[in-house]
Amino acid sequence: MDHLFEQRSAIWDAFLTTLSLAGISGLLALVLGTVLAGMRVSPFLPLRVIATGYTEFLRNTPLTIVFFFYVFVTPSMGFSFSYKVAAVIALTCYTAAFVAEAVRSGINSVAPGQAEAARSLGMSFGQNLGLVVLPQAFRTAIPPLISVFIALVKNTSVAGAFSVLELFALSKRLTNAYSADVITILIGIALCYLVICIPLGRVAAALERKAVFGR
């Protein structure tokens, strides 16, 4: 218990690293995922093929393999990134596939009459998607997007195994240093994750209930 208190500044730093990893990759993945979802519903076959292939592939690839690729394999291919950048790239690539699925299911849930009405006003595909369908799609997509973000927060722990000092890496370091206090240290680190994930889950559930009644 004392050690946990002693190390509070290290834990706080690691907590912030976890948050910033999740925040940065989350934002990038949101952009990339939305673009992918748009490509998937577009009238142009090459874009649909790329977006479908990307989502299908990344959704079925273990995150550890994605990390392993960006951290250990790319240097032998003539690219190399710092550990933190590699972590952000890996998390973004992986999460974008899930974001794309969430946004696509949101797009599917928009009443077809909306898009039909937009079309009958002569809107192009881009206007239709950007001005009419996506704004409504995001409303239904927010609870699943929050779930994706919760998963992202938990997934940042994989970065800890690839030389980024965030909460999981710190837990490994601290349990090595103070082997008598393993359980309290792990519970302390677990609490840090719970503090982020449980409130987010509550918000998602509440929004989902609201969306169901709002229909």
Partner 1 sequence: MSSGPVLYDVAGPEEKRRERLISWVLGVVVLLGAGALIWRLAANGVFDDRWRILIEAPPNFAGYEVQHIWMAVFRGLGSTLLAAVISLPLALLLAVALVSLRTSPFAVVRGAVAVAVEVFRALPVVLVMLFGVLVLPGASPLMAVVFGLVIYNGAVFAEILRAGIAALPKGQTEAAQSLGMGSFLTYRDIQLPQAVRMMLPSLIAQGVVLVKDSSLGYIVGYAELLRQVSRVTDALTNAAYLLPLLAVGAAVYISLNIALSRLAVWVQRRSARTRRTVVAAPLAPIVED
The interface region with partner 1, picked from 5-13, 23-31, 62-70, 84-92 by CB under 8 A, is 62-70
CB 125, CB 43: distance < 8 Å: yes
- Nearest approach, Cβ of residue 135 and partner 1 (Å): 14
137 CB contacts (<8 Å, ≥6 apart)? Answer: 103, 106, 107, 109, 110
Calculate Rg over the CA atoms of the chain.
Answer: 20
> Is 47 an interacting residue with respect to partner 1 (CB under 8 A)?
yes
> Is 75 an interacting residue with respect to partner 1 (CB under 8 A)?
yes
Q: From the list 1, 121, 177, 190, which residue makes contact with partner 1 (rule: CB under 8 A)?
A: 190
CB 142, CB 99: distance < 8 Å: no
Closer to partner 1 by Cβ: residue 12 or 57: 57
Q: How far is CA 199 from the centre of its chain?
A: 17
117 phi and psi angles, rounded to 5 deg: -60, -45
> Is 4 an interacting residue with respect to partner 1 (CB under 8 A)?
no
Show the binding pattern over residues 111-150: x = contacts partner 1 (CB under 8 A), - = does not.
Answer: -x--xx--x-----x--xx---x---------xx--x--x
Binding site residues, partner 1, CB under 8 A: 41-47, 50, 56-57, 59-65, 68-69, 72-73, 75-79, 98, 105, 108, 112, 115-116, 119, 125, 128-129, 133, 143-144, 147, 150-151, 154-158, 160-161, 168, 171-172, 175, 182-183, 186, 189-190, 193-194, 197-198, 201, 208, 211-212
